[in-house]
Amino acid sequence: MGLNATGSQKPWSATEADWIAGWAIQAFVFQTPEKSDMGKVATVTMNPSVDVFAETEDLVENGKTRCKNTTQEPGGGGINVARNLNRFGVDVVAILTAGGLQGKLLKQLLAGAAFTFYCVDIKGETRQSLAVTERASGKLFHLVFPGPELEESEWRQCLDAFQALKPAADYLVLSGSLPGGVPTDFYGDLARLAADEGTRVILDTSGKALSPSRGKGIYLTKLNFGEFCDLGYSGSDDHAGMLAAMGQMVDEGLTDNLIVTLDAEGALLVSNTGEKLYARPPRTRVISHVGAGDSFVSVLVYQLDRGKTVAEAFRYGVAAAAAKVSTPGNQLMDLDKVESIVETVMIREHGERR
């Protein structure tokens, strides 16, 4: 059977529907809002989560901490990006895994999503994360739990689900960690498949999934400082040294464009056209950092798809992260807020005086 949306525009469908039969893949297609003429974006989330948010007056040591204002949201890098992009009016499809009671809850939380997602049912239990805000101190404590172990048949179904998407995506966002059982070169293989179709690949991951992506046609990679060090950087946080090392990684084929984020201090960019930039956002009161990196990627892709240069989209990404941390939850709700911040983002080229 074909999979068609009931909205005003026909999003992706599985033209070869037999690949679904007999597999634990579920395709969910919901009413889609009217879309712009922007290109299509696919996201992959191999290790999603149910994100639980709560508040308490004080964290109690060796005793009960009673929380209030508890909310639950579907989480994981690619899911967060897909939800943001859909809200911005982009035609998006998400591929994800889910298992156990938490996996059932994840699908229920996504049931109201106005975009298509393909869910590969797994035997393991989908993870949770917990973010607790202590009102007395204003601090947020983010606890992330281990993900499941995937069987080979399960992660291979995710590859097949991507290959079955027709027409090919304009952008593929590979975001979040890889769970146990998934080969370290999984994202690299997906990137190669996507690049062969002319799809621009955006990579935002950590740890074991980073190195095997070298030479696989990654259009842009976003790292934080710790992930940058995991790739071999052993210098200080001096911008000149970091930019030089980033340039070498780009020259060696790690990625066409490389971004390293520096938390509240902003981010660095080395592009395949030779640009070396530092962007610093305005000071922002932090309410929830959860999803800030995903908001960066969401707005970056949104702006690239609108025809912005990498440097221009980079500036918007920095503004998006600043906008996100000032709001609760894991989503970027207001593009107008990003527009109000972007002009205050300071951009400096390498070698330019402060």
Phi, psi dihedrals of residue 29, rounded to the nearest 5°? -125, 115
- Give the full edge-to-edge strand order of the sheet including 139-144: 68-75, 49-56, 127-134, 139-144
User: Which pair of structure tokens corresponds to residue 140?
Assistant: 């947020």
> Among residues 91, 204, 294, 305, which one is catalytic?
294
294 is catalytic: yes
Question: 257 has which bridge partners?
Answer: 220
d(CA 193, CA 173): 13
DSSP-derived letter for residue 281 is P
Burial class (CB in 10 A: 0-12, 13-18, 19+), 270: buried
d(CA 93, CA 115): 6
d(CA 206, CA 223): 8
**Helical packing angle, 335-342 and 310-325, nearest 10°:** 110
Amino acid at residue number 287? I
Is the distance from CB of 175 to CB of 204 less than 8 angstroms? yes
What separation in angstroms does the CA of 99 have from each of 103, 116, 189, 225? 4, 19, 24, 32
Count of CB atoms within 10 A of residue 115's CB? 28
Q: Tell me: cis bond preceding 281? Omega within 30 of 0 counts.
A: no
Three-class secondary structure of residue 274 per DSSP: coil
Element (H, E) at 2: none
The residues annotated as belonging to the active site are: 294
